């Protein structure tokens, strides 16, 4: 049996394809690869005309995708790639459709915002090259995923769009001035020579501007045509090129009309829409890579002889002993082998009170060692740590958002074939039935292409997003995700974290009035020598305190100083000689002095000043308000009771929060998650929409759709209000766009619209959409019921 020219498999007796191919799919793929000039992927047929395809590393090909494949340990191979050439949701749909039809592929997900393709399949790692080739044959360029390279590419493309928009805007303004002169001169006896001069001046300005400003559309259209499919940029490019080409031909022949202004104006408004959309999408970043940087620090490993060596996390193995100095962040999961300290675990659990770490205590990557050196026996490192698990949760949740396709993109998927068919029908109809000649028939077809160009449709969502995000930004609210406002508008359930969200996240001394002045002064002076959060809160209660000489910090216990009367201690209850009781609901410190009863200092994380009013307003507006926290049950219960929140859960793990949100989503709820800790990061990414205060952990701000400034919760109400108003404006823009097309397209097909009138009508519809979006800045916030 002979081998297939494309895949190299044996050709069955009845393949249903042309000679040399095992199936029609391979025949099509082979033609596409050759059409794109990628013959290097096939073996040169000097000896065997039916040789198998080449590997990418052969024949000088630069990329070997198989070396970037990861085995997930469950029988699946995973490959993360960046996709260059994505323009709209139709591209996402095409890539995912092609890949999911490949043998062995389990899932193929494209994140439109980050341009990231995650591919999972069964088989062999070497299959990666063949799978990537299937997408490359469509005209898209794939490279291994690199966030730094992605940011550079995004910045470069954004600058290119901005330059193109500036050139098109400059040309449109000047060409329109010349066109106005021609129009005015038509009614005032302008001679043909003067008119032709203005047309030539317009051509000198417009043609170079079109050649440069149209590059983003022309490249995309050419790539699509080479791969034998069409996208939105194909009819746009046709309209611009035909309008400019016909205008140049008419100018050369000295005809009365030229439509350079139509082509340039069309490009200008299209570039505005694409730039605004690119800016909105570019605000979202991949949270998982940012999260993993918390654990990507050099690790101090202690060998069997007690010597210390710095190693990268990738070279640390379970069973090793690592040294973590006070003030360092832990980079591994493990157990404390020796030493005592306090750990700041707020990034993991959300708990503001540090926890004690003694021999045998389980510790996790991402936590901060506060007060004493520790030696830790490694249990897990790298992608096996709890930190990496949270990163996977965040990444999985973000990838789920790739399924979200805006209405404008869904329409755009069907836009190209409809417009092409309509323009072709107009041309043939007038040519065959109208008896007006090919020039005028083509002119009417160009008018159809121009008048149906999706400027207003492309602006319908981005202009509202930009106006809404600008309004929120002026109030200290940053909208980071392109689809955040659209998702927020459908929210019916609001879930709050406790620490740092409903509360300020800062501990304050609760009972200064119950403590005598001397005890407060002495305790504050001892506390001033420590960086422990409780000690710092106590020191703030008496700012003028100066640490006494000889004060020392006992890791995991507290502060002590020797005096002539004996040792004075400030720290944990048991260390200060106080019997353990059940009244330690709130964080506390004790001051123990010789001959004096111990003094208790109680601390509290106070709720935000407007938290109660915000919760009441949300509940009155019909929202289901809930509280999920990793804190202790007593403190969560107290805050829930104070704010009137009936549905609350305490001691919830990061995985538990994500599971609870998925459970609510399964019940038909659309949830807004408001949180600030690292333990909230996965939940923020998994929620239908998410918000985080600016005081939150970096990863939570990255995972959240929206970040708000200040110490108040009112931005939650403002954002929900603006989101619902924005949704209404978007719907109005779609209505305007459909009304415009319903009226203008029949006139264009009937021959009553010239390319200039088509460009003006298209511009007018775009301006109407922009003005409607700007109305978001007019008036005060108000609630709009779903």
Pairing of strands 596-607, 588-593: antiparallel
Long-range contacts of 87-92 (CB under 8 A, 24+ apart): 87/220, 87/231, 87/232, 87/233, 88/231, 88/232, 88/409, 88/412, 88/413, 89/405, 89/406, 89/409, 89/410, 89/412, 89/413, 90/231, 90/232, 90/409, 90/412, 90/413, 91/140, 91/231, 92/402, 92/405
Give strand pairing partners of 626. 495, 647
Rounded distance between C-alpha atoms, residue 447 and residue 297, angstroms: 61
Closest alpha carbon to 782 in 713, 722, 692, 699: 722
Pairing of strands 299-302, 308-311: antiparallel
Distance between terminal CA atoms of the chain?
65
CB 228 within 8 A of CB 36: no
Q: Determine the distance from the C-alpha atom of residue 256 to the mean position of all C-alpha atoms in its chain, rounded to a whole number.
A: 51
Closest alpha carbon to 285 in 704, 679, 723: 704
Rg of the Cα trace of the chain?
33
Other C-beta atoms within 10 Å of 193: how many? 8
Q: Determine the distance from the C-alpha atom of residue 13 to the mean position of all C-alpha atoms in its chain, rounded to a whole number.
A: 50
Rounded distance between C-alpha atoms, residue 275 and residue 465, angstroms: 12
Rounded distance between C-alpha atoms, residue 273 and residue 458, angstroms: 6
Strand, helix or coil at 507? strand
CB 718 within 8 A of CB 781: yes
Pairing of strands 105-111, 299-302: unpaired
Closest alpha carbon to 479 in 343, 284, 196, 231: 284
Tokens describing residue 359: 């021999």
Query: What sign results for the dihedral spanned by CA atoms 21, 25, 28, 31?
Result: negative
CB 777 within 8 A of CB 466: no
CB 204 within 8 A of CB 251: no
Query: What sign results for the dihedral spanned by CA atoms 328, 692, 396, 390?
Result: positive
Other C-beta atoms within 10 Å of 657: how many? 29
Let me know if 497 is a catalytic residue.
yes
CB 234 within 8 A of CB 416: yes
Enumerate the H helices of 430-516 as residue ranges: 438-451, 455-460, 462-474, 484-488
Q: Which of 497, 605, 676, 705 is catalytic?
A: 497
Other C-beta atoms within 10 Å of 88: how many? 23
Q: Which residues are catalytic?
A: 497
């Amino acid at each position: 049996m002979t081998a297939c020219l494309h895949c190299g498999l044996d050709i069955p007796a009845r393949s249903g394809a042309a000679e040399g191919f095992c199936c029609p799919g391979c025949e099509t793929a082979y033609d596409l690869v050759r059409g794109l000039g990628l013959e290097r992927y096939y073996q040169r047929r000097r000896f065997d005309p039916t040789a198998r395809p080449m590997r990418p590393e052969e024949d000088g090909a630069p990329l070997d995708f198989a070396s970037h494949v990861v085995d997930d340990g469950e029988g699946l191979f995973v490959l993360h790639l960046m996709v260059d050439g994505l323009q709209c949701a139709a591209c996402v749909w095409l890539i995912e459709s092609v890949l999911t039809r490949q043998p062995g592929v389990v899932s193929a997900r494209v994140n439109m915002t980050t341009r990231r393709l995650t591919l999972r399949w069964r088989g062999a790692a070497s299959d990666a090259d063949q799978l990537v080739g299937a997408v490359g044959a469509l005209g898209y360029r794939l490279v291994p995923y690199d966030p730094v390279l992605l940011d550079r590419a995004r910045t470069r493309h954004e600058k290119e769009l901005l330059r193109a928009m500036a050139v098109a805007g400059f040309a449109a303004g000047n060409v329109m001035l010349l066109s106005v002169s021609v129009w005015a001169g038509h009614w005032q006896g302008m001679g043909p020579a003067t008119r032709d001069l203005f047309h030539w001046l317009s051509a000198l300005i417009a043609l170079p501007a079109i050649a440069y400003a149209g590059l983003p559309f022309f490249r995309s259209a050419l790539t699509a045509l080479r791969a034998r499919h069409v996208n939105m940029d194909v009819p746009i490019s046709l309209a611009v090129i035909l309008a400019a080409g016909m205008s140049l031909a008419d100018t050369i022949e000295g005809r009365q009309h030229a439509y350079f202004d139509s082509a340039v104006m069309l490009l200008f408004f299209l570039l505005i829409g694409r730039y605004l959309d690119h800016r909105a999408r570019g605000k979202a970043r991949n949270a998982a890579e940012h999260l993993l940087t918390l654990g990507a620090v050099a690790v101090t490993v202690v060998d069997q002889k007690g010597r210390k060596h710095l190693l990268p996390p990738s070279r640390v193995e379970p069973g090793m002993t690592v040294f973590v100095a006070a003030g360092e962040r832990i980079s591994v999961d493990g157990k404390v082998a020796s030493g005592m300290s306090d750990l700041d675990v707020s990034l993991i659990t959300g708990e503001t009170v540090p926890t004690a770490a003694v021999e045998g205590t389980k510790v996790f990557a991402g936590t901060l060692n506060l007060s004493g050196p520790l030696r830790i026996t490694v249990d897990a490192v790298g992608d096996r740590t709890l930190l990496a698990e949270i990163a996977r949760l965040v990444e999985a949740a973000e990838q789920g958002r790739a399924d979200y396709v805006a209405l404008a993109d869904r329409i755009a998927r069907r836009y190209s074939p409809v417009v092409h068919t309509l323009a072709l029908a107009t041309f043939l109809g007038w040519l065959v039935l109208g008896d007006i000649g090919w020039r005028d028939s083509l002119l009417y077809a160009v008018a159809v292409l121009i008048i149906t160009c999706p400027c207003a449709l492309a602006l319908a969502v981005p202009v509202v997003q930009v106006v809404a995000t600008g309004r929120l930004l002026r109030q200290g609210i940053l909208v980071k995700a392109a689809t955040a406002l659209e998702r927020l508008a459908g929210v019916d359930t609001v879930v709050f974290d406790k620490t740092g969200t409903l509360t300020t996240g800062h501990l304050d001394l609760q009972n200064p009035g119950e403590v005598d002045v001397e005890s407060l002064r002495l305790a504050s002076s001892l506390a001033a020598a420590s960086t422990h959060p409780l000690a710092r809160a106590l020191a703030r209660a008496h700012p003028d305190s100066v640490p006494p000489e000889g004060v020392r910090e006992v890791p995991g216990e507290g502060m002590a100083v020797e005096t002539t009367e004996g040792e004075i201690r400030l720290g944990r209850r048991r260390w200060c000689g106080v019997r353990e009781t059940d009244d330690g609901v709130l964080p506390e410190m004790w001051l123990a002095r010789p001959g004096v009863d111990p003094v208790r200092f109680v601390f509290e994380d106070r709720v935000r000043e407007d938290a109660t009013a915000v919760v009441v307003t949300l509940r009155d507006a019909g929202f289901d308000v809930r509280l999920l926290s990793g804190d202790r049950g007593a403190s969560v219960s107290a805050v829930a009771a104070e704010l009137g929140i009936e549905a609350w859960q305490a001691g919830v793990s990061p995985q538990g929060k994500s599971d609870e949100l998925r459970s609510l989503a399964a019940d038909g709820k659309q949830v807004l998650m408001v949180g600030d800790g690292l333990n909230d990061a996965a939940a923020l990414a998994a929620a239908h929409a998410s918000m985080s205060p600016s005081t939150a952990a970096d990863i939570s701000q990255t995972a959240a759709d929206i970040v708000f400034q200040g110490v108040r919760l009112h931005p939650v109400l403002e954002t929900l209000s603006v989101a619902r108003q924005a949704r209404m404006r978007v719907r109005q823009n779609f209505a305007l766009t459909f009304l415009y097309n319903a009226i203008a397209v029949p006139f264009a097909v009937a021959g009553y619209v010239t390319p200039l009138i088509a460009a003006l009508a298209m511009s007018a519809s775009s301006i109407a959409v922009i003005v409607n979006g700007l109305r978001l800045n007019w008036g005060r916030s108000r609630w709009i019921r779903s």
